Amino acid sequence: MFRLPKGKPLYENMGLNGLQLPDITAKLSFAKFTGYVHFVFSTSYVILVFEFGQLVSLMSKEGEKPPQKDGFEAMRDLARLITSSENGVISVYQLSPDLTMCIHALLQGEALYRSQELALIDIKAFLARIKDNLMNGCLRIYTDERLAMIFYKDGAPLGFFNDGSETIETTPGDSQHIAKLAGAKLDFFTTVNTEELMSQNLLDVINLDQIWEVAQNSRKAALHKLSEEQQGRQRLEREERLSALAGDVSALCVEYLGDMGSKIFEKEMQTAGGNNCLRSMEEAAPLITALERGARLLMVGQSRINKMKESISNAIAWAGIV
Amino acid sequence: MSTSIFNQMFLIFDPLNIIQICCWLIAGVVSLYFSVGNARLWTSISFGFFLLMIGQSYLINPLVKYHLVIAMHHVCSVLSIMLISHGIFEYYLFCRTLEISGKKQTVYIATAGILIFFLCFLLVNPNPSPNAIRNYQIIANAIWVILCIANIELCRKIYLSLRNSSIGKGFLGFAVAFALIMFWKGAFLYQQIYQWDRLGQDIYYISGQYLDIDDYADIVKFTYHIISYTGILASMTVVGTHLYFLRQLKSSGGES
C-alpha cells in the first residue's frame, strides 16, 4: 500500500459509518483544504488530493494485482466501497501546497523514470537536470525492502520522506544509503506547478451526487436482494419444518384414531388452509376442534381425545414455527 | 291358529316379547347417551333406535286399545328406521368424504315435525279401523325390509373403511342386526301379504271369507317362529352392539 507522509493529521482512522461522500468533499472544498484524504478498506484504498479545496487528483487501488484507477472510475469505486464496506476508515492529513503538489505527482504525475535501475543511470546528471529544468515532482528510490522519497519544487528539494518516518524531513536520511544498495531502483514523477494544478478541479467534472446516489441505490438493491434471498431461505426452511410437523401430527392422529385419523387430519388441514395452520396454537385451534369432532364420530373416549389434543399441542409448541 | 279379541289382541304378555322390549329399552337408552355431545349423524342413528324402542313398546302399552295410539306406534317405527338409515348413510358419506356437517337440532325438529304431522293426519281422518291399522303395519314392514337391505350394504362398506379400528366391528354388529330385522319384518310382511297374521285372519273370518291357512300350516308356523326368534335376536344384537360401542368409548379413554 502507498505510504505517504502524514503531515498534520486532522482526522485519523475515523469510521465511515453515517458519513456521506458528497458532504465530505463539500466540507473540504468549503474549508479550502490542502492535503490528502486517505480512505482505507479491507483490501482497497483510495486517496483524494486537495489543493485549496479543489480536488486535483484521486486514485483507487483494490487488491494487489489490479491496476490503480483514477478519475471517474476511482470516484465510483470510492462511493461503492463507502456504501458497501463495514470496516472503512478515513484519515485526513493537511500538507503544504507544495507537498500536496508532490503527492499529486506521485499519484498521477508524468513518469519520467519508472523502475529504473540506479546502477544504469547517472544520478548526478539526473539530479542536475531536475535542478536546471526547475522540475516539480517526486523522486522515489527503493529496493525490495526499503523506500525513500524526495519531493522537488522548482528543482529544489522540498523534503525527504523515509522508511519508518511519518513526516517530511529536511535531511536526506537513508535515501543516499538506499541508493547505494544493490538492486536499487528509481521512479520519478513530475507534475505541473501548484497554480496550474489548481486550474483543474475534478469535482467540477465528476457528478459526485449522481455517483453517490447510484452507489446507494446499488447498495439498497443488493441489500434487498440479500434480504429476499434470506427470506426465501427462511420460507423454505419454514415450509420444511411445517411439512415435518404435519407428518408428526398425522402420525399422532393415526396413533389415537386409527387409519381414519390421518385422513381426517389431511382433510381438515386442507380446509384450514394447508399446513400453515400448524404455526401456532391459536391458528391450529379450529383444526384440533375438527379432529375432536371426528374422534367422537369414531367412538373415541373423551380422555383419549384429550390426550391426543395435548400431544398435538405439545408437538406444535415444540416445533416453534412462526 | 286361534283368533283374538280386537281390543286385547295387542296386549300379549309373551315372555319373549318382554325380553325383546327390555332389549329395545336398553338399546334406546344407550343410544340416547351416544347422541349427547356427538355429531348429527350419530344423533340420527341414536335417536332412530330410541324411536324404535317407542315403536315396539306397543307390546306393553295399555293404551293400544285406542287405534290412534297403535297407529302412532307404527309411525314411530317407520320414522325410526328412516332416521337410522339416514344416519347410516351420513356415516357412509363421512367415511368417503370426511364431511361432518349439519345440526342436530335439524334432526330433532324434523322428527318432531313429522310426528306432529302424522298425529294431525290421524286426528283429521276417521278413527283407523283394524284393517287400516293392518295397512299401516304392512307399509311399515315393507319400509323396514327395504331399508334394512340398504343398511346392510352400507354397514358392510363402512366396516371395510373402518376395518382397522374398533368401531368397524360395531358396524358389523349393526349389519347382523339389520339382517335379523330384515328376516323378522320380512316374515311378518310375508304373513300379512297372504293374511296369515292374526289380524288378517280375524278380518277374513269376520267378513265370512275362506282362508286356506290350514293348507299351509307348516309355513305359517315356521314364519311365526322366525318372527319370534329373529325379533328377539335382533333386539339382543342391537343392544349388544350398543353395549360394545359403550365399552369402546369407556375403554379407549384409558389407552395411550
Q: DSSP per residue over B55-91, as a string? A: HHGGGT-GGGGSHHHHHHHHHHHHHHHHHHHHHHHHH
Same domain, A82 and A184: yes
Report the residue from A299, A303, A304 with minimal CB separation from B245: A299
Same domain (yes/no): A266, A199 = no
What pLDDT score does B13 carry? 61
Per-residue model confidence as pLDDT tens digits over B172-231: 999 999 999 999 999 999 999 988 888 888 887 777 777 677 888 888 889 989 988 998
The structure's pTM equals 0.64
What confidence score (pLDDT) does residue A237 get?
A: 92
Please give the torsion angle defined by the CA atoms of residues A60, A63, A64 and A70, in that order, rounded to the nearest 10 degrees. Answer: -20
What SS3 state is found at A201?
Answer: coil
Q: How far is B242 from chain A (nearest CA, A)?
A: 11
- Number of domains forming the structure of chain B: 1
Asked whether the beta carbons of residue B94 and residue A297 sit closer than 8 angstroms, the reply is: yes
B252 interaction partners in chain A (CB closer than 8 Å): 299-301, 304
Query: Chain B contacts of A259, Cβ < 8 Å?
Result: 164-165
- 0.85 surpassed by complex ipTM: no
Same domain, A19 and A153: yes
Contacts of B161 in chain A (CB under 8 A): 260
In a 13 Å sphere around the CA of A168, the CA atoms on its Cβ side amount to 20
Number of domains within chain A: 2
Q: With respect to residue A227, please indicate whether it lies within any of the assigned structural domains.
A: no
Query: Are A185 and A251 found together in one domain?
Result: no
Q: Is residue B1 part of a domain?
A: no
Contacts of B251 in chain A (CB under 8 A): 301
Judge if A168 and A258 occupy the same domain: no
Q: Per residue of chain A (322 residues), what is the pLDDT tens digit?
A: 556 777 788 988 999 888 899 999 999 999 999 999 999 998 889 999 998 999 988 888 887 766 788 888 899 999 999 998 878 999 999 988 888 888 888 887 888 888 888 888 888 888 888 888 888 888 888 888 788 888 888 888 888 887 666 677 777 777 778 888 888 888 888 876 666 666 678 888 888 999 999 999 999 999 999 999 999 999 999 999 999 999 999 999 999 888 889 999 999 999 888 988 999 889 999 999 989 988 888 888 888 899 999 999 999 999 887 6
In sequence order, the 6+-apart residues with CB closer than 8 A to the CB of A162 are A147, A148, A149, A169, A173, A174, A175
Q: For residue A254, what is the nearest residue in chain B, using CA coordinates?
A: B165
Q: Are residues A28 and A116 in the same domain?
A: yes
- Sheet of strand A156-162: strand arrangement: A110-117, A185-191, A136-142, A147-153, A156-162
Hey, are the CB atoms on A299 and B253 less than 8 Å from each other? no
Question: Cell triple for residue A273?
Answer: 388452509
The answer on A109 and A45 residing in a single domain is yes
Arithmetic mean of pLDDT over chain B: 84
Identify whether residues A194 and A244 lie together within a single domain: no
CATH code at position B116: 1.20.1070
Nearest by CB to residue A267, choosing from B42, B98, B250, is: B98
Residue A180, number of CB atoms within 10 A of its CB: 9
Q: For residues A91 and A43, state if they share a domain.
A: yes
Q: Which residue of B has its CA nearest to A265?
A: B98
Nearest by CB to A293, which of B100, B245, B254?
A: B100
Report yes or no: B67 and B130 within 8 Å, Cβ to Cβ: yes
A286 within a domain of the structure (yes/no):
yes
Q: What pLDDT digit, counting tens, does each position of B78-108 carry? A: 999 999 999 999 999 989 888 877 788 888 8
Residue A224 placed within a domain: no
Same domain, A241 and A173: no
B:89-108 residues touching chain A, CB 8 A cutoff: 91, 94-95, 98, 100
Pairwise CB contact (< 8 Å): B165 & A260: yes
- Residue A119 falls inside a structural domain: yes
Q: Does A269 map to a domain?
A: yes
Domain, as residue range, for B110 = 6-251
| pLDDT given at position B6 | 47
Whether B33 contacts chain A with CB within 8 A: no
- Indicate whether A32 and A177 sit together in one domain: yes
With CA atoms as reference, report the closest residue to B48 among B161, B189, B144, B122: B144
| Sequence-distant (≥ 6) Cβ neighbours of residue A34 within 8 angstroms | A50, A51, A52, A53, A94, A95, A96, A97, A100
Q: Give the domain range for residue A28.
A: 8-206
Best to test chain B binding among A255, A256, A260 (most B CBs inside 10 Å)? A260
Chain centroid to CA B147: 10
Q: Do B100 and A303 touch (CB under 8 A)?
A: no
Query: What does each C-alpha distance from A44 to A89, A163, A256, B29, B101 come to in angstroms?
Result: 11, 22, 65, 89, 71
Residue A218 placed within a domain: no
A263 to chain B: closest CA residue: B98
> Cα angle at B47 between B62 and A298, to 5 degrees?
145
Domain for residue B107, yes or no? yes
A297 contact residues in B (CB cutoff 8 A): 38-39, 41-42, 91, 94, 100
| B172 in a structural domain | yes
Residue B115 has pLDDT above 60, yes or no: yes
Please indicate, yes or no, if residue A219 is contained in any of the structural domains.
Answer: no
